[in-house]
């Protein structure tokens, strides 16, 4: 993830993360809605989009993905994970950007490289209770100290962003043991666990070791988005491993406003859409919000109603 200190995904010092769930829809189609258990289910809205057409090389239509890709998580993506850092320079503008695009079943999480404690911003999230709320930390110590009080405040998940920038050396010395411990702590308190491994732990070598210890997994592949075919390959390889070892895991792939153009973001996502449960974007500053908005408008039009 990222932070005021240059993260590689979507999270930074005292930041708030917001994740939204998304669905594919053709402009002339009506979306049939089914009640959604966003804690236990991988599907929010289900629709046959056999006539929907992706454009671009190596991009499969939903119909093609159903028939040719046995590893597809769903027939189309369903989630948008929005990161709203608590230290973002204009919180109101950031919240106003995301509000129109979030729907029932989306995720909302505060996050920070402490101090301060991201839990301090939990009540500031101006989003309704149909979103799954959580708090994401960079260290096991903070998770241990705060999990009980957070559970009492009604959160649904704990996130752990384990990476060089933000996580203490004690956590990084044995990353697999650290991820396993965070997972256990979350489950002991009947919370879902969001794994957000960043550099240097966002490699395929670690994926197989982390896979059993996550309910939701963010793939930090945004460094490849300027080369969509490379992005597709790196994400797909990781998904195959994650799903093989943990069939029920929900997978969110990440993009970044400073790793490619809006067109790069759109094409990269469309090339993995049939394999993932959602997408998230990391933005560094207010100047990036216009790019986020353009992507969300495209995403909303093509992947959800």
Strands, E assignment, 68-203: 79-84, 107-111, 132-137, 157-160, 192-195
pLDDT > 70? residue 24: no
Mind listing the pLDDT tens digit for each residue in 239-286? 999 999 999 999 999 999 999 999 999 999 999 999 998 888 988 889
CB 12 within 8 A of CB 2: yes
Quick one: pLDDT at residue 78?
76
Cα 189 to Cα 263: distance, rounded to the nearest angstrom: 42
Mind listing the pLDDT tens digit for each residue in 34-62? 333 333 333 333 223 233 233 333 333 33
Mind listing the pLDDT tens digit for each residue in 165-178? 999 999 999 999 99
The model carries a pTM of 0.76
Mind listing the pLDDT tens digit for each residue in 202-251? 998 999 999 999 999 999 999 999 999 999 999 999 999 999 999 999 99
């Amino acid at each position: 993830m990222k932070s005021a200190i240059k993260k590689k995904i979507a999270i930074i010092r005292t930041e708030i993360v917001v994740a939204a769930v998304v669905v594919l829809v053709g402009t002339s189609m009506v979306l049939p809605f089914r009640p959604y258990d966003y804690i236990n289910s991988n599907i929010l809205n289900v629709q046959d989009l056999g006539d929907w057409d992706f454009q671009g090389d190596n991009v499969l239509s939903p119909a093609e993905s159903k028939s040719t890709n046995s590893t597809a998580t769903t027939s189309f993506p369903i989630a948008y994970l929005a990161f709203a850092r608590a230290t973002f320079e204009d919180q109101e503008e950031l919240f106003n950007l995301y509000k129109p695009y979030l729907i029932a079943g989306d995720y909302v999480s505060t996050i920070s490289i402490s101090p301060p404690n991201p839990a301090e911003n939990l009540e500031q999230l101006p989003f309704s209770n149909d979103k799954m709320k959580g708090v994401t930390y960079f260290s096991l110590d903070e998770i241990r100290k705060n999990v009980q009080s957070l559970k009492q405040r009604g959160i649904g998940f704990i996130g752990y962003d384990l990476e060089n920038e933000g996580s203490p050396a004690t956590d990084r010395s044995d990353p697999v043991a650290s991820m396993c411990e965070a997972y256990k702590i979350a489950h002991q308190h009947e919370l879902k666990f969001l794994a957000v491994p960043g550099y240097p732990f966002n490699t395929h070598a670690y994926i197989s070791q982390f896979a059993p210890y996550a309910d939701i997994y963010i793939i930090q592949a945004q460094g490849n988005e300027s080369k969509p075919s490379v992005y597709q390959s790196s994400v797909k390889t990781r998904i195959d491993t994650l799903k093989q070892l943990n069939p029920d895991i929900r997978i969110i792939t990440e993009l970044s406003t400073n790793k490619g153009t809006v067109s790069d973001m759109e094409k990269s996502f469309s090339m993995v859409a049939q394999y993932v449960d959602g997408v998230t974007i990391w933005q560094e500053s207010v100047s990036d919000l216009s790019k986020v908005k353009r992507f969300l408008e495209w995403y909303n039009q093509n992947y959800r109603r």
